[in-house]
Chain A
Amino acid sequence: MVKDTSVNICGVRLKNPILCASGTYNFRESGLYYDPAALGCITTKSVSLLPWDGNDAPKIAEAYGGMLNAIGLENRGLDAYIKTELKMLKAAGATVMANVVGRTAEEYAEVAGALAATDVDLLELNISCPNVKDSGIAFGTDPKTAAGLVAGVKKASGGKPVIVKLTPNVTDITEIARAVVDAGADGLSLINTLKGMRIDLRTKQPVLKAGGGGLSGPAIHPVAVRMVYETRRAVSVPIIGMGGVMTGADAYELMLAGAVAVAVGTAALIDPAAPLRILEELKVFL
């Protein structure tokens, strides 16, 4: 008999606890390597009301046991997302969490409101991207601002579960966690990337055109474990853990820390089929 590894997140059943993290899955390309319906959930790349251009290259730099990115939330906007990526993923039978971003609290609410009318399963609010100046992390480092944004989105999202993705770039993540949960967040995703920088020894300038970027990969896994552990003890909503998961053991460690499900990000950039491999490895522990 096949063991039931399904988990429930805010009333949405995921057939297993492995998700892909936002910005590391693309239906056209990643879809060549595995069936998106085989994962618990596909988190899609941040979507904004109108298309965003993102940053100029270089947007990627390597670091010991990790990588820096400064993509800058490049995306084709809400309309294109609903008509193409979301439509194709739902047609393929996938459970989908849409990662939402905006330049203002109103924009977040407008995108969430439009997505509430679609068959997307979950919303994930990105208030933690370190790579855009006027949004993202700016909303996720101050508890009051974060709470206000979440309250606005909850009002607009018509009962669609709202997961809030938190940044580790704060003094105390549990403070933000409590604030957004009090404001109505149905669940939390953590952690987003850590702020970092590489400098080219030859040019003596930052490698990334944007200057700094977000560090991801196995180097940040212990940070994620600790933050999930602390947040679990501060709030009672479901937590999706993420940060440097390369193996099933890494995923299980985050679950032991208190995550109900785990997202795979950087590992999928190194091997598109990594989420499936990690799922198989995780099953040994469950």
Chain B
Amino acid sequence: MVKAHRGQYPVTKNESIADGIYELCFEAPDIARAANAGQFANVYLPGGAMLLPRPISIADVRGDVVTLVYAIVGGGTKALAGIKAGARLEIMGPLGTGYFDYAGSPTDAAPSGAFENPFTALLVGGGVGAPPLHFAARRIRAARRGRVKIVACLGFRGHPWYREEFERVCDEVLLASEAEGAAAFHGNVAHLLDKSFPYKEAGSPQANGQALPSLALACGPRPMLKAASDFCAAKNITLRVSLEERMGCGYGACAGCTCKTRLLGDVLKPQNGPNMPNAEGFIKKKVCAHGPVFWADEVVW
């Protein structure tokens, strides 16, 4: 872990971009410089009644401006939605371990063998979990240019949003909605994955000419992450997932957000944090500090 930045940053935009979904932009050169895809920022509400930070994943960084996308889920995010451009917000970040914070990742100066040559990256996102993958897509694209094909599979409850943002950086954007007629595919992301990648496993011939994803990144509700994990495990695709949990501090002090993981013992999948399993074979890890991004196969689902 490295020290996060903290300050009262000017809000440049805080607007609804879809039903119950807001995009918050703020000017924070120090956070912008340090941020990696998959990391998050702690947003503190003014007033003193709601003390705990709202940990929100970073959806984009452009110049000095950091973008967070959040859903209104309770009193805190409702109050946050009332903050106007021009106001200052107490924010701390970037926090946590991101998608590419390991040696040999596709954005590494020396990526591992799997990412040296053209490869396909699969993004699996659900609802408000989609925007952080947009930041991840931009980072892979910046690092690998034309030597990567990026395919996004995104699911929404209603009408898809953030589509243009993904289309700008991805080669293919496949959309699913649980509302009939709202997207090309009616159903959830798991069904969309099965339909879009019908081949049995990585290495087998392609029925539809799709390249084989070597890496998948996922962010969304836990059942979706579990489905993505099962899908990728069956097809031998390396998957990194971003877990969500109620947090206390968001920086690693309180152990309020720990999850069960297991030791992988795979040099290509370096793991953060403690490495001594308990009597049941599990290692408790902090979602905020050791994650939120983990290898799918280290998570005890």
Contacts and interface: CB of A to CB of B under 8 A. Distances in A.
Interface string B244-261: 011111011111111100
A66 interface: yes
B252 A29 contact: yes
Given A29-B1, A76-B276, A271-B6, A60 B48 contact: no
Interface in A73-104: 74, 76, 80
A45 interface: yes
Contacts of B255: 23, 45, 54, 59, 71, 74
Contact of A269 (B3, B249, B276, B282): B249
A57 B52 contact: no
A60 B258 contact: no
Contacts of B259: 57
B10 interface: no
Binding site of B, secondary structure by majority: helix, strand, loop or mixed? loop
Contact of A60 (B4, B44, B50, B257): B257
Nearest to B246: A58
A29 B276 contact: no
Interface string A11-24: 00000000000011
Contact of A69 (B1, B248, B251, B280): B248
B111 interface: no
Interface in B60-98: 76, 92
Contact of B52 (A28, A45, A67): A67
A25 interface: yes
Interface in B189-236: none
Nearest to B6: A271
Interface residues of A, number: 36
B251 A29 contact: yes
A65 B246 contact: no
A24 B246 CA distance: 16
B49 A64 contact: yes
A59 B256 contact: yes
Nearest to B1: A29
**Dominant secondary structure of chain A at its interface with chain B:** loop
A57 B258 contact: yes
A266 B51 CA distance: 9
A30 B251 CA distance: 8
Contacts of A74: 255, 258, 284
A153 B6 CA distance: 42
Contacts of B246: 57-61
A148 interface: no
Nearest to B249: A269
A259 to B, nearest CB: 22
Contacts of A53: 278, 280, 282, 284
A145 interface: no
Contacts of B280: 53
Contacts of B6: 271
B257 A66 contact: no
A71 to B, nearest CB: 5
A57 B284 CA distance: 11
B184 interface: no
Nearest to A50: B279
A272 B247 CA distance: 15
A211 interface: no
B278 A51 contact: yes
A89 B165 CA distance: 46
B76 to A, nearest CB: 7
Contacts of B247: 60
A266 B53 CA distance: 12
A169 interface: no
B49 A71 contact: no
Given A29-B1, A53-B280, A69-B256, 5 more contacts: A57-B257, A57-B259, A58-B245, A65-B49, A271-B6
Q: Which 6 A-B pairs have the closest CB atoms?
A: A29-B252, A269-B249, A60-B256, A32-B3, A58-B246, A60-B248
9 contacts: A28-B1, A28-B252, A53-B280, A53-B284, A54-B255, A65-B51, A71-B254, A71-B255, A272-B251
